[in-house]
Structure 1
Amino acid sequence: MGKLFYQGHGSYRLVTDQGIVLYVDPFAGEGYDLPADIALITHEHPDHNNLSLLQQHQGCVVVRPETILINGNYGTRTIHEVAIQAVPAYNSGHDKNKCVGYVIELDGVKIYASGDTSTTDYMKDVLSKEKLDYALLPTDGFYNMDPKEASDCAAVIGAVHTIPIHMKPGALFDRKIAEAFVAEGRLILEPNDEIIL
């Protein structure tokens, strides 16, 4: 089975059974020791796109909004047998035309990497039917939705497990905010926690 390593804030690393290494929004924490095969950037704010942290394998593919959201069309890519679907992500501080989330499928596991967002129609219209295994949702209540709104989104999306992330400006993790997030199948990960998917 694949693994998810939470680095803190909005950053995490996925590793497939075959050893393909994928980073989502590199910026925070530790755990950048494995060379990247894929890097997914949800938007170009500096706390989501620090590619200088990554050693990149030759042929590493970096996916960012400008390469997968073209003229309002959310694209798909399959890289090293990892399927990547861009999806809407937006709120008052995040332009719908410059930000995305991703649905990532690896080793038969579906993960919703929401990026910075608040409630979207796509959550109800599409994600709720995707039979997601994991959803990672921001909960800071400043740049994104607060724990209550994120909890409501988790109920709509219906992933088997939902992980609160991106909790407090300037902090890798905040236990109080994480515990204020309520969802069936909630998983609270602290920085440097790793789970088997």
Structure 2
Amino acid sequence: MAKLLYQGHGSYRVVSKDGLVIYVDPYAGVGYDLSADIVLVTHEHADHNDLSLINKKKDCRILRAADMLVHGKYRKLEINGVMIEAVPAYNENHKRDCCVGYIITIDGIKIYASGDTSYTDFMQAKLSQAEIDYALLPIDGIFNMDVKEAEKCAKIINPRHTIPIHTSPVNKPSRLDKSGVSVPFDLKKAESLDVEGRIIMRPADEIELFEK
């Protein structure tokens, strides 16, 4: 069964039932011990692309926004049985032509890795029809949408589960994860997200990803 480890901030790791390892926006926390098959970077801000944390397998694929958004077109490709589709991600702090989110389809499960974004028209036009299983949405309200906007987006996308991430900026007070590592995290804000199927993940929490 596939698993998702929330490392903290905008960083998380997905491992397939067969052991394929995907990292999304490496930066925070722990859990970089497994060598990567795929690394997804939503944009080039320093708190989303610390590749020095990752041991890469010989054939590791690193995909950045510049690889997946080419001449205004969002790419979709398959790697080792995993489908990776780039989708729009933007707001006043993140330029549309420099940022992407991802839909990751792994072991029959669809994960929406939103990146740093606010509401986008794509959410209504396409994501609402995509049958997303797990949506990871930022809620810090400073560089991204706030809790209320995230609630609006979650209701439009209608995933089975919504996981609030990027709950506070990196320069705000942090919490210690299970390994004693300081990670930006605001539990009170995460718990204030009022949507059906919400899952609260603290840094270093890991869950199994269930199909319908």
Matched, 1:119 2:131: no
Q: Please, which runs of 5 or more residues in structure 1 have no aligned partner?
A: none
Output the CA distance in 1 between the equivalents of 2:128 and 2:77: 21
Length, aligned pairs only:
197
Q: What secondary structure sits across from 1:47 in the alignment?
A: helix
What is the CA distance between 1:182 and its match in structure 2?
Answer: 1.2
Superposition pairs for residues 6-21 of structure 1, below 5 Å? Answer: 6-21=6-21
Output the CA distance in 1 between the equivalents of 2:205 and 2:188: 17
What is aligned with 1:139?
Answer: 139
User: Would the aligned equivalents of 1:148 and 1:180 in 2 still touch at CA under 8 Å?
Assistant: no
Q: TM-score, normalised by structure 2?
A: 0.92
Letter of the structure 2 residue corresponding to residue 145 of structure 1? M
What is aligned with 1:181?
Answer: 193
The two structures, once aligned, show a CA RMSD in angstroms of 0.6
Output the CA distance in 1 between the equivalents of 2:123 and 2:150: 11
Q: What secondary structure sits across from 1:155 in the alignment?
A: helix
Q: What secondary structure sits across from 1:97 in the alignment?
A: helix
Q: Please, which runs of 5 or more residues in structure 2 have no aligned partner?
A: 175-183
Output the CA distance in 2 between the equivalents of 1:34 and 1:162: 25
Identity of aligned residues (%): 57
Q: What secondary structure sits across from 2:98 in the alignment?
A: coil
Q: What secondary structure sits across from 1:136 in the alignment?
A: strand
Matched, 1:82 2:82: yes
What is aligned with 2:179?
Answer: none
Output the CA distance in 1 between the equivalents of 2:135 and 2:24: 13
What is the CA distance between 1:179 and its match in structure 2?
Answer: 1.1
What is the CA distance between 1:56 and its match in structure 2?
Answer: 0.3
What is the CA distance between 1:80 and its match in structure 2?
Answer: 1.1
What is aligned with 2:206?
Answer: 194
What is aligned with 1:98?
Answer: 98
What is the CA distance between 1:82 and its match in structure 2?
Answer: 0.6
Output the CA distance in 1 between the equivalents of 2:138 and 2:67: 23
Q: Mean alpha-carbon deviation: is it higher for 39-48 or for 162-171?
A: 162-171
Output the CA distance in 2 between the equivalents of 1:124 and 1:76: 19
Q: What secondary structure sits across from 2:96 in the alignment?
A: coil
Q: What secondary structure sits across from 2:150 in the alignment?
A: helix
Letter of the structure 2 residue corresponding to residue 189 of structure 1? M
What is the CA distance between 1:173 and its match in structure 2?
Answer: 1.4
Output the CA distance in 1 between the equivalents of 2:164 and 2:65: 23
- Consecutive aligned runs of 4 or more in structure 1 exceeding 3 Å deviation: none
What is aligned with 1:166?
Answer: 166
Output the CA distance in 2 between the equivalents of 1:146 and 1:66: 27
What is the CA distance between 1:154 and its match in structure 2?
Answer: 0.3
Kindly provide the CA deviation profile for residues 129-151 of structure 1, in whole angstroms up to 9, marking residues without a partner as x.
00110000000000000011001
Output the CA distance in 2 between the equivalents of 1:176 and 1:18: 35
Q: TM-score, normalised by structure 1?
A: 0.99
Letter of the structure 2 residue corresponding to residue 5 of structure 1? L
